[in-house]
Structure 1
Amino acid sequence: MNPWVLIDTVPLPDGRGDIRLIQRADEFSIMLGTIALMNSRLSGSEEAMAGLARARISDRPNAHVLVGGLGMGFTLRAALAEFPKTASITVSELMPAVVAWAKGPMAPIFGDCLEDSRVDIKVVDVRRLINSAKASYDAILLDVDNGPDGLTVETNDALYSMTGLKAASAALRPGGVLAIWASAPDRAFTQRLQRAGFAVEEERIRANGKSRGSRHVIWLATRPSTHSPGVRSASRKL
């Protein structure tokens, strides 16, 4: 079997450790200590997030989508496949090294998606874009850290606080959707989304996109439109 090879190591912005990019043949993994934050062969749930969000705003051909976290590009590539050519997709990535990896060693898995005319990559904390936006986005797709139970950057927790969720709601146009990826369910977070005024659905998606293997969670939180009947909550497994 081919051994894992260390490609690069970079410190986290808040100094809580390092993340490493490692490679084995054509497989990549981003590691925090002994924890695999993402692997190029396990992309099913991240890819599903874009399609689930698109289905809820399918009547918006000129949708403006904000993707929080570039990672290995799973969510970005799925968004490009799901949204029409008239949409625009802004990707916010906190760490410059991740963008460099996408253009360098991981270029084979990114393909030409970074050059797509719909894509605008910003090396900035996604909170800055959310907090400065007022009814600007039709969808916000957050694939940041490990979800509400973060592992990497402590300040990511603010995204999932009540203040952060209300800021996301304000950044969405009426009827827009906030989609959040997480590695595991969190009932308290579902309730927090509801208290923030969202209509909430929860999807359980296989990590490998197949019928077996671990499930990840995607919350789909819709900002009510002016004619919304109110908040609802639902959970499904796929």
Structure 2
Amino acid sequence: MQPWIPLATATAPQGGLLRLLRRGDEFSIRLEGGNELMNSRLGGSEEALATLALTRLGVRPCPVLLIGGLGMGFTLRAAQSALTGPARLVVSEIVPELADWAAGLMAPVFGDCLSDPRAEIRIGDVAAEIRATPGGFDAILLDVDNGPDGLTRDANGALYGEVGLREARRALRPGGVLAVWSAAPDAGFTRRLTRAGFETETHAVPAGRGRRGPRHTIWTARAPGS
């Protein structure tokens, strides 16, 4: 088996290191200490985050999406494929190096998706983007950290707590959809979504693109309105 080759490091939002590694055509992003956050062969659930959200949203003229977390671009590419017409896709990424890797070291994974004129990468905190844009989005897709039970950043609780969920609801247009990715189910988070006024569905989806193997959790939560 080929060894993992270290390519680059970046500072995680709360300190510590994120490490980018490559083995053949496979890429991995890990926390210092070995916990894997992303793998280029396991993008099925990240793609489902986009497809489930857009199915729940339905057809809208020129929808505006906010994607929290660039990752390896699986959610962005799935949204681009599903949205064949005019749209705006704003990707908020807090680690600048991830955007640099996407255009450079991980270009084989990203392909040409960053050249789509509908897509815009903004470096910064997605929570600040949500607070600054009331009524601005048709859908908000969050793949930040490990989900509601974050690993790399305590402040991510502000996204997934009751205050953060109310802010997300304010940032959505009537009938808009908040979709959240998680490595594991979380009944408490489901209850918080309901208390925040969302009509919520929970989905267990394969981590990869087959039917076997580990499963991740996605919530699609619809805001009130038509």
Same fold (TM over 0.5): yes
Measured against aligned partners, the alpha-carbon deviations of 1:153-191 in whole angstroms (never above 9, x if no partner) come to: 221121101110000000000100000000000000100
In structure 2, C-alpha distance between the alignment counterparts of 1:128 and 1:161, rounded to whole Å: 15
> Is contact 2:88–2:118 with CA below 8 Å preserved after alignment?
yes
Measured against aligned partners, the alpha-carbon deviations of 1:98-128 in whole angstroms (never above 9, x if no partner) come to: 0011011100110111110100110011011
3-state SS in 1 of match to 2:9: strand
> 1:134-173 residue pairs with structure 2 within 5 A?
134-173=134-173
In structure 1, C-alpha distance between the alignment counterparts of 2:85 and 2:110, rounded to whole Å: 18
Measured against aligned partners, the alpha-carbon deviations of 1:12-36 in whole angstroms (never above 9, x if no partner) come to: 1322x11100100110000012111
RMSD between superposed Cα atoms in Å? 0.9
> Is contact 2:93–2:99 with CA below 8 Å preserved after alignment?
yes
In structure 2, C-alpha distance between the alignment counterparts of 1:77 and 1:166, rounded to whole Å: 28
Paired amino acid for 1:159: L
Partner of 1:56: 56
Partner of 1:8: 8
> 1:1-238 residue pairs with structure 2 within 5 A?
1-15=1-15, 17-32=16-31, 33-225=33-225
C-alpha displacement at 1:49, in angstroms? 1.2
> Is contact 2:56–2:220 with CA below 8 Å preserved after alignment?
no
C-alpha displacement at 1:224, in angstroms? 1.1
C-alpha displacement at 1:43, in angstroms? 0.6
> Is contact 1:147–1:180 with CA below 8 Å preserved after alignment?
yes
C-alpha displacement at 1:209, in angstroms? 2.1
> Is contact 2:9–2:19 with CA below 8 Å preserved after alignment?
yes
Tell me the TM-score normalized by structure 2: 0.97
- Which runs of 5 or more structure 1 residues have no equivalent in the other structure? 227-238
In structure 2, C-alpha distance between the alignment counterparts of 1:65 and 1:2, rounded to whole Å: 39
In structure 1, C-alpha distance between the alignment counterparts of 2:29 and 2:123, rounded to whole Å: 18
Paired amino acid for 1:27: E
3-state SS in 2 of match to 1:61: coil
Paired amino acid for 2:175: G
Paired amino acid for 1:39: N
Runs of 4+ in structure 1 over 4 Å off: none
Paired amino acid for 1:219: W
> Is contact 2:147–2:182 with CA below 8 Å preserved after alignment?
yes
Measured against aligned partners, the alpha-carbon deviations of 1:116-149 in whole angstroms (never above 9, x if no partner) come to: 0100110011011100111110000001100000
Measured against aligned partners, the alpha-carbon deviations of 1:45-97 in whole angstroms (never above 9, x if no partner) come to: 11011111111222203100000000100100001001132111000000000
In structure 2, C-alpha distance between the alignment counterparts of 1:56 and 1:10, rounded to whole Å: 35
Tell me the TM-score normalized by structure 1: 0.93
Paired amino acid for 1:63: P
Larger CA deviation: 149-158 vs 19-28: 149-158
> Is contact 1:85–1:118 with CA below 8 Å preserved after alignment?
no
> Is contact 1:174–1:223 with CA below 8 Å preserved after alignment?
yes
- Which runs of 5 or more structure 2 residues have no equivalent in the other structure? none
